[in-house]
Structure formats: structure tokens, C-alpha cells
Amino acid sequence: MTASRGAGLEVWGGVECTINRVGDRYQSQVALSGHDRRIEDLERFAALGLRAIRYPVLWEHVAPAGDPGDADWTWAHRRLGRLRQLGLEPIVGLVHHGSGPRHTHLLDAGFVHGLARYAGEVARRFPWLRRFTPVNEPLTTARFAGAYGLWYPHGRDDASFVCALLTQCQAIVAAMRAIRREIPGAELVQTDDLGRVSSTPRLAYQARFENERRWLGWDLLAGRVDRHHPLWRYLVKHGASPAELQALCDQPCPPDLVGINHYVTSDRWLDDRLERYPDELHGGNGRDRYVDVEAVRVSPEPARGFAGPLREAWERYRLPLAITEVHLGCSREEQLRWFLQAWNAARQARAAGVDVRAVTAWSLLGSFDWNTLLTRFSGHYEPGVFDVRSGEPRPTALARLVGALARDAEPPPSACSGGAGWWQRPIRLLPSARHPAGEVPTLAAAGAPPLLVTGATGTLGRAFGRLCEVRGLGCRLLRRSDMDIGDPQSVAAALDAARPWAVVNAAGYVRVDDAESDGERCERENAAGPRHLALACAARGIPLVTFSSDLVFDGRSTRPYLEHDPVAPLNAYGRSKARAEAAVLASHPGALVVRTSAFFGPWDAYNFLTRAIRTLRDGGELAAADDLVVSPTYVPDLVNACLDLLIDGANGIWHLANPGSVTWYEFARRAARLLEVPTGRLHAVGHRQFGWAAPRPQYVPLGSGRGSLLPPLEQALERYVQAHAAALVAAA
């Protein structure tokens, strides 16, 4: 997919800034991303060429005691002042999926006066501001905090939902009045999630209700909820007084701009055929039992994307629009595809007469724990335009795309962003919803150059092939007969024939002990071959990824090894890898060299862990070294991280291993216990008892000074166990 030129369409940005409360615990996205400590992030944002940025001056943060007179304005003064200097216009948010300072909440009538007082103080201190979002997504927040019980104050009924929604809308009106007393021309940018609900025939009544409810926040502000509104009776039945609804009609506060937030999961499907779904998805409304699931997972039609929400919002309100959040927590090429679809939908809508002003690169610094809707504090991270796991924010491929669109320039060519997203391919469907015909999987844009992967028969090569298919990336796996990396002419011929967008070298000599007596072959495959590849790729401008090992270190460290630590291999295999690192980076400075360690995964029957579990389950004896400490690496995590880094254009040496360190004995014991396999025949021994020809370093865990991109070892081990158990069930 390519991007159309903007023709006046602006690119905005946004910092995920939620301060939400679950029970008595608050979570701040700005603190988790480190943005609260890095004012220099603002230069990074401005350098993208953004025209505006949704930016937090949150009530809970500035005035946690609730009184603006006791607030600390230092943070807001410094950052808003810097944005002004940079010419990056802030769209100031005052409450973002929050419930206010600790003394109030969304069911408290005092919330309205409190937020209005705070908003007026913001306007008084920063009279040059123009755009405000006093409360982000009031309808969505009312659902999560008033109807579903997920966020504070954890309401679970219609009355709490109605109260939370009215409280937020009344607070928006009061806040804008207070702001406009100080800044008469201040504009309201009102955001909310906008999806559509479909259903089975039995549940059509529920779908109709929810499709009306999705507009309620904007309708209330625009003064549209009078006695003729379809939901007037519902609101009054569940606690809204006719007087307060009429007050919103009499003195409306319509948005100056309607901000549409739309996600892959925004469209929903209601299904009363419970037998099609696992028990944990079953729910209901008191009248019928049903599941509420993402439409993309069950609909025979691919996800509709942004075109539908833009058209519907324009037809309903005829007010200026913006797509105020574009984010996808997924692999990098899918993030690129999703943003391009948003951009092209906005361009097409403008061409059709819809007044769309901007597309917003949301979550510039990524987001935390949205996979559980902020109900758990596990630190699950989704990168955005920048990846903060590197300490200093690292630009991802999204940064290049966003920067080009912001300047109305031609986006950089990216073969990986072509083709259909997962939400448009059959992979999106739940097993019960898959259709035998009617859909053709699209792995890449027609005619797009492939990713070449050497080592077609090895663990890593096969994993790349499998995951490229999942991710919709065109990939060609090469055997030695297709390209012999030890032969420069073979390498050149293969590259010229395929014209790939990148090369992954997953080939190599892997027999560590045999390398001691087979040095010439090990050197050819592990050192000379990668150098030939690097020279050929560099000459053609082709990105390259190749792999190294923890065995380039001598094991004398007392902490995990980092990328800058000096190499000192103890054996021939390690020396071949160390020479390859130096040769590759000297020949191709843009190449990515990934050091990794101790593979385990669900698709390889020969890795240490799978063989160990099989031996113990069959009642065999197993000895494992208890004096060698390593960082095991879950192959699916490794491959996904490598592909993301490759797409981002990362280079140099990078350590990729699941954070954590174990001995081989402890590694086998943990997995066996999780799988409930007896460990009585598992024996801890010193590694020298194995009589290995190659000396081994005793302590080689891999850490990273560039960014820890893989999940912790414990999480990876749990996923391995789940996959292993599922494979056993399938084979039974």
C-alpha cells in the first residue's frame, strides 16, 4: 500500500498520557514511558514536522490534592513553553481516562466544579493556548468505569454509566466556559472511540441500542439529546433528570472539531450462539446470553477501517473532523499498514467533501498495559513512533513514515508495508468463523520484492519463514543449492535474481564441538560467508541481518554481557562468530548483527528443552549442566524482534535474549514442572563430565545496553509450555 499526498491534510501527534485508577492504585503512562523526565522528547516530536500535538496538563498530575491553588505548575510551564518555542501547537488534555484527584471521581457531583476550576486556572496561566480536550473519550471512560467495572469507581450498572457520562459531559461544558472566560476563542476538540456493533438476528435490538449509544457523548455536548432522542427514555430511566438533559440542550457546547479514535477492535459483534466460543467470553444483558467479540475476528468481511467512521460522523454532525488516534499494538509492518490506511481514508474522505483536518500519530512513545485495558500493571509495552525500551527513545519505521507525511513528501519506499494487514487476511478469524472459500490470503503486495532468508532447513530459517507468513511478509527461504554464502559468485547471482528488500542470514555452522577439529569448514560458513553477504548487500544497498552468539565471551563477567563488552572467545566456534561480527560491520556498516543464545521454541524437536522434556516424559535419564549460566531465547520472540529491528533500519550489534538467566539444569527443571513432567530422573552435573571438545564459558547471560526488546524468560517459558501442551493434545 502506498500513501497519497496530503493536499492540506495535517499530521498531528499524541502522547499516551492516561492516569487511570484501579482500586486505590494509580498508573501514569507518562511516567512509565519516561516522558515525565525527558523534556528533550519535545524536540524529537517537533523534528517529525507535526503541526499539533495532543498533550497532557492533567488535573491528577498538576493538582493531585484537587485545589489549583496548591498545584505544582513547574512541569506544565516548562513543557508548554518549550512546545511554544518549537512552534508545535498543543491540544491540551485535562483528564485522560481518569477519575480526577483522589478526593473525587466520575460519580461525584463535585467533579464538575472541580475540573472547571482547574480548567480556568490552566487558561489563566497559559492564555496563548487555543485548543483543549477537557475530558478524553467520555463515553469510553463511562463504559469502562461505570458499566464494566474496570476502572475507578468500578460501577457495573446502567445508572453508574449514565452518571459517569453525564458528569464528564457537564464537566466539559463547565470547563470550556471557564476556559473561554480567559481565552474567548478557545476551541473544543472532543475525542471518543467510534466503532459499530453488528449482531446475529436475535440480538439486533442490542446492536441498535449500542449503535445509538456510541454517539451519546458528542450528542449531549451538541445539545441533541432532547425528548425526541432515541436514548432520552433510557437516560431518564437510569438516573438522568429531564432538567439536566434539557440544560445541555438549552446551552450546548458542540465540539469545534470531532476527534475520532478508531481501532481494529472498535467494531464489535454480538453472537447468541454460545457454543461457538469459549466459556470465558460468555456474557449477557439480563435478557439474553451472548458473547461480545471483535467483529474483525468473526466477520466474513475484512475490517472496514477508517472510511466508515469518518463518513458516519460527517453525516451526523457536519463538523470538522480529525482522526485523533491511530495506533496498533502489533508488529512493525502492521503498524505501518494501519497508519497508511488511516491516512489514505482521510485523503479519500477529503476528496469526497468531508472536512477532515488531520491524522494523529497516537502513542508517539508507545503505551503500557493496554492489552489488559489498564487493569493490570504488568509493564506490557507496545512501541509507537518511538520505542522507549532503549532508554532514549529510538525512532521506529513509523517515524520515517510520519515525518514524510507531515512534510507532504513521498513516504520512504517500504516493501514490508505493502499488502493487506492481518485484519484483512483470514488469519484474523477465530476457528469457528473461518470460511472454506471466499478469501484469498495476501502475504505481500503483488510484485513486491521478497525478504531472503538463508538456512532454509535450520531452526531459525524455518521460524523466519513461518512468522513472515503470519505477518504477511513475502519471504523466500534459501537452501545452500539456492545460494552458497561461502561462494561470492553464488551470493551475487542470488541477490541479483531476487532483488530482495532485505536479507536475513540464518545459515551457519552450528556444531560447537566439531568446530574444534573442523575449523576450515566452520570458518567458511560462520565468518567468510557472512562477510561475502555483507559485501554484496552493501554494494546493492540491501539491509542485512546476521547472527552471532554468546560464545564470543569468555564467561568471566559478574553481570550480563552488554553489546559494548570486549569479546574473548574460548573455542573455535566463538572465534568464528567474533571474526564474522567484525567483518560484517566493516563491510556493511548498516548491517544488524544479533547476538543470541540457547534457542528454545515450539516448532523445533531438537532444541535442548524439547529433547529434555521428551526424555523425561518417556522415563529416561537426563543429565544437565548446573555450572553453565545462559540466557535462553524463545525463537518466536527472537524472530519477531529481528524483523521489527530490520524494518526500523537498526544496525550494529544488538543482544536479543529473553531477560533472565539459568543453568541448563534449572532450565529443564522449570519447564518440566510447568508441564507436570516428573523430574526424578533429571540430574545436575558439572559440564566437564560431558567430555566436550570445545571449552565453554561458565557465565554468559546476555543483557542489552541498547534496549531489552524481548519479554522476560518466565513469560516466554510459559508460552512455550502452552504451545508444547497444545501440540501434545493435537497429536493425541
Q: Is 301 exposed, middle or buried (0-12, 13-18, 19+ CB in 10 A)?
A: exposed
Task: Mark 527-556 as b/e (b = at least 16 C-beta within 10 Å).
Answer: bbbbbbbbbbbbeeebbbbbbbbbbbbbbe
Q: How far apart are CA 100 and CA 470, in angstroms?
A: 42
**DSSP H or E run through 343:** helix 332-351
Q: For residue 716, how far is the Cα from the chain centroid? A: 17
Handedness of CA 180, 182, 187, 190 (dihedral sign): negative
Q: Is 342 exposed, middle or buried (0-12, 13-18, 19+ CB in 10 A)?
A: buried
573 among known catalytic residues: yes
Q: How far apart are CA 198 and CA 270, in angstroms?
A: 6
> What single letter denotes the amino acid at residue 169?
C
DSSP reduced 3-state for 623 = strand
Q: Are 226 and 249 in contact (CB under 8 A)?
A: yes
Please state, in angstroms and as integers, the Cα–Cα distance from residue 277 to each residue in 295, 298, 425, following that order: 14, 11, 21
Q: How far apart are CA 657 and CA 713, in angstroms?
A: 8
Q: How far apart are CA 366 and CA 389, in angstroms?
A: 10
DSSP reduced 3-state for 268 = strand
Q: Are 263 and 341 in contact (CB under 8 A)?
A: no
Residue 365 is placed in which grid cell? 512513545
Catalytic residue among 152, 573, 699, 720: 573
CA torsion 371→374→376→377, rounded to 10°? 100
DSSP state at residue 409: P
**Can you spell out the DSSP letters for 37-96?**
G-TTHHHHHHHTT-SEEEEE--HHHH-TTS-GGG---HHHHHHHHHHHHHT-EEEEEEEE
**DSSP H or E run through 594:** strand 592-596
Q: Where are the beta strands (DSSP E) in 327-415?
A: 356-361, 367-368, 381-382, 386-387, 394-395
Active site residues: 573
